Amino acid sequence: MEKNGKSLRNLLSVKWIILFTGIAGSHLLFAQQSLETLYRLTGDAVTGVFEPQREVIQNCSAVIYNKRDEIAYGVVISKDGYILTKASEIQIEEKSEEEAKDKAEPEGEKKSEDKAKPDSKEKSEPGKEFKLPIPEGLPPGTKIEDAGAIVLAVRVDKQEFDEVKIVHIDKKWDVALIKVDAQDLTPAEFAPDSKLEQGTWVVVNGATSRTKRRVLAGIISAQAREIPKDGVVGLGLVLEKAKDKLQVKDVSKGGGADLAGVKVNDIIVNLEQKKVAELKDIAEILAGKKPGDEVKLTVKRAGKDVELTVKLAILAGSEKPMDRNDQMSGDFSERRSDFPRVIQHDILANSNTMGGPVLNMKGQVVGMNIARANRCETYAIPVEELQVIAKEMLEHSFK
């Protein structure tokens, strides 16, 4: 309680520092165009206020490496080494021929269980390591270590772990559960909920060294909401005008219309009980629909009306192109959409700093960073959903 009270007093000090420098800066505008480094959000005068939260991050978050490169952070959820992180940062990259030779196994060396033939399934058998698949297009017989599979290592506080298992992956949330051989880690304390007003201070991982973490502070900048998948929702049809009617010219294989049974040369009659005669009619009806929504489609085939139910999906090639904001954003997450619900904050980040905890001023986890969306938006999975994900993944690992 005393530490929280001190943290609150320090936070008020930060507000006075920012207010004072803002007032002083207005009088010195022509003399000094930028705020002194010490008083910026990343400066010691500001980050030093959040020392209690830094200590929490030091103990209950993980730094995840691919060889020597930091690729993600993680949230410690058990004393014995279970950690949640962002799944899509765990990728396979093809190695150069020289790197592959360097990793070649000495002749006559017995293969370990870790070098067994990889399995591309998403679920692992009890007690066995989840195996990453060999990238497509590589020669048959390529070993996973020669294909450039990532070599994971984890550091929590000052403890380092070279043996890391990927236990389970949740594609819906882009979350991975990993495991290290530990006995005395400090699990994160989850907040009761993520109901934070806009403008509320939160703290996340900042830069890190081998012995000490830094933190970054910012604010909740938007209300919790769903982030739909980028792209245009559609039926999966190619249509052409034929005698004032829309006729099916082609059906996208595996798309919603194909799975529903729409055939080439069908005539579109109704969509959602509304007559359709122009392409714009379909666009108007589908406006506001989301991937996975189902719509009623009536087609005329061989003189008879056929009623079908089509599940909508994102049309191939319709993903959002890079805009000016993206170009100014620097490094953002490869996957930054298609999340059921997120909270949003404005803390500086990049794709390699996702997966870590988002703390409130009590040092409790209110979310887990899951995507750097652009230069001023970072998404986090709310603690309510994060606890459900953790529970389900742990249950899976014990089966």
Question: Each residue of 155-202: pLDDT tens digit?
Answer: 999 999 999 999 999 999 999 999 999 999 999 999 999 999 999 999
**Does residue 288 sit within a domain?**
yes
Q: Position of tokens 């979310």? A: 367
CATH of the domain at 281: 2.30.42.10
In a domain, 112, yes or no: no
What proportion of the chain, given as a percentage, has pLDDT over 70? Answer: 73
Residue 62, domain member (yes or no)? no
> Would you say the pTM of this structure is higher than 0.75?
no
**Residue 305: which domain range?**
233-314
pLDDT of 147 higher than 50: no
Is 263 domain-assigned? yes
What is the per-residue pLDDT for 326?
58
Which of 60, 81, 82 lies closest to 394, judged by CA?
Answer: 82
Q: How many folded domains does the chain comprise?
A: 2
Tokens 């943290």 appear where? 7
Residue 121, number of CB atoms within 10 A of its CB: 10
In a domain, 255, yes or no: yes
Choose among 336, 301, 317, 298: nearest CA to 255.
Answer: 317
118 with 131: CB under 8 angstroms?
yes
